[in-house]
Amino acid sequence: METFTTTIDRLSSPPVLFALALFLLVIGLKWRALGSRTGGLVLAVLVVSFLGLGLTDEVFRRLVLDPERLPVLVLVVLSGFFVWLSLYRTRDRNALSEPLLPELAWPGFSCGEVLVALLVLLVVAACAFVLRTPLAAVADPTLPPDPAKAPWFLVGLQEMRGYFDPWVPDLYLPGLLLVILVVLPHLDRPPGGGEPHAGGSPERVPPGLMFVFLFGWWLVWLLPMVIGAFLRGPHGNAFGPFEPWDAARPRIETAAPLSEILRSRLLDLAPPRGPILRELPGIVLLALYFGILPLLLPWWRVTRGIFARTRKWLGGWRFYVATVLVLAIAIVPLKMVSRWLFDVAYFLYLPEWSFNF
């Protein structure tokens, strides 16, 4: 048991957990056996076995069964189930045009909605009676709790505040999601504009669309929520799920803006005059990322033509706009990885204009 808990604690380090989640996402989409009934059964056995072993540990049990954190665990498990269900249904293209369950088709769908609403109401009522959530002590502004957690549905945004200024999780990400919802219908090809596949009907889904969606859901939304709810302890330190929180452990902060790392740590140069010249490396990096990279992706051989086929399917301007939106989302985990690996606090550091990114 000690070997198991030690291994899980090491794998729960945020950089390792991100790499592991990305690896499992790629393998899950490439390995079609995962979308079979056998694959789903194996995943269910692994999840139940992990939770069964983990709940025998007192630290893990208090952490996971805490009423403020339990919804995050339920959300992750349900997300995994519905991802498997999607993979299972995409194994058969003919099943995509059929309703998920015959009784959920119209007009019986309204009956299904009522039954699901009643079931959710019963589950919430049972949780209200079973899970004890007493009020904490009276708040003391001179002695804030450490860590002070946001509600479970906002704890992911709170975690992102450790890597960005508050305007990014509070304004940039929600605004970007709204822009994507508005623009997405205009990026779709007109009906009949796609190339026919083996079944004879037009291909309606561009390559890699499921990966993009799951990348955004798992790595941009759920992963920060899991880290913030279960792994972020006192002083902002990361702890494993089986590791007791040590309030005496100090936090060592060595991150610095990209311009300072290049100028002071690598080149040993004096700071230039003016914020534009000082932050020129970050400006050039972001210009290449958003302006040049979408144009080069279709000719990147490492991707085995995925971006080239997507560009052919969407067309030139649609592909460019869609790629910029995807890169705008992908820069969030890239910024987190740059903090973990290279101690980059900001790509752009402009306190003179109250703009840091």
pLDDT tens profile 170-181 = 888 888 888 888
CA–CA separation, 317 and 311 (whole Å): 9
What distance lies between CA 36 and its chain's CA centroid?
Answer: 25
Under the banding of pLDDT at 50, 70 and 90, the label for residue 304 is: low
Q: Residue 316's pLDDT band (boundaries 50, 70, 90)?
A: confident
Report if residue 272 sits inside a domain: yes
**Using CA atoms, how far apart are residues 88 and 80, in angstroms rounded to an integer?**
12
- Enter the DSSP assignment of 312: H
Are the C-beta atoms of 357 and 289 separated by less than 8 Å? Answer: no
Q: If pLDDT is split at 50, 70 and 90, which confidence band does 146 have? A: confident
Return the half-sphere exposure (C-beta side, CA atoms, 13 A cut-off) of residue 279. Answer: 20
Q: Is residue 199 part of a domain?
A: no
Residue-level pLDDT at 91: 64
47 CB neighbour count, 10 Å cutoff: 14
Q: With contact defined as beta carbons under 8 Å apart, do 65 and 54 qualify?
A: no
- What is the rounded average pLDDT of the residues 33-54? 87
For residue 180 the two structure tokens come to 């994507």
Average pLDDT of 128-143? Answer: 78
Question: How far is it, in rounded angstroms, from Cα 269 to Cα 340?
Answer: 24
pLDDT of 227 higher than 90: yes
pTM: 0.83
Q: How many whole angstroms separate alpha carbon 191 and alpha carbon 257?
A: 47
Six-digit token pair at 316?
């030139």
Does 128 map to a domain? no
pLDDT, residue 285, reads 92
Mean pLDDT, the chain, rounded, equals 81
Query: Would you say residue 344 lies in a domain?
Result: yes
* Position 3 in a domain: no
Confidence of residue 289 (pLDDT cuts 50, 70, 90): very high
- For the residues 8-31, what does the mean pLDDT come to? 87
Residue 190 has pLDDT above 60, yes or no: no
Looking at the 3D structure of the chain, how many domains does it have?
1
* Structural domain contains residue 289: yes
Structure tokens at 168: 């990014």
Q: Is the pLDDT of residue 185 over 70?
A: yes
Identify whether 48 is part of a domain: no
The three-point CA angle 244-62-65 to 5° equals: 140
> What is the rounded average pLDDT of the residues 2-16?
89
pLDDT of 101 strictly over 60: no
Exposure class string for 315-339: b at 16+ Cβ within 10 A, else e:
eeebbbebbebbebbbbbbebbbbb
Q: Which domain holds residue 318?
A: 256-357
Q: What is the pLDDT of residues 56-95, one digit of tens each?
A: 999 999 999 888 888 899 999 988 888 888 778 776 554 4
- The string of pLDDT tens digits covering residues 102-117 is 444 555 556 767 787 8
Q: pLDDT: is 308 or 231 the higher one?
A: 231
pLDDT for residue 355 is more than 90 = no
> CA–CA separation, 348 vs 290, rounded Å?
14
What is the amino acid identity at position 217? W
Tens-place pLDDT, residues 244-255? 998 888 888 788
User: For the chain, where are the E strands, in sequence order?
Assistant: 349-350, 355-356
Q: How many residues does the chain have?
A: 357
Whether residue 330 is contained in a domain is answered as yes
Amino acid 203: pLDDT: 45
pLDDT value of position 305: 65
**Rounded (5°) CA angle 110-113-116:** 150
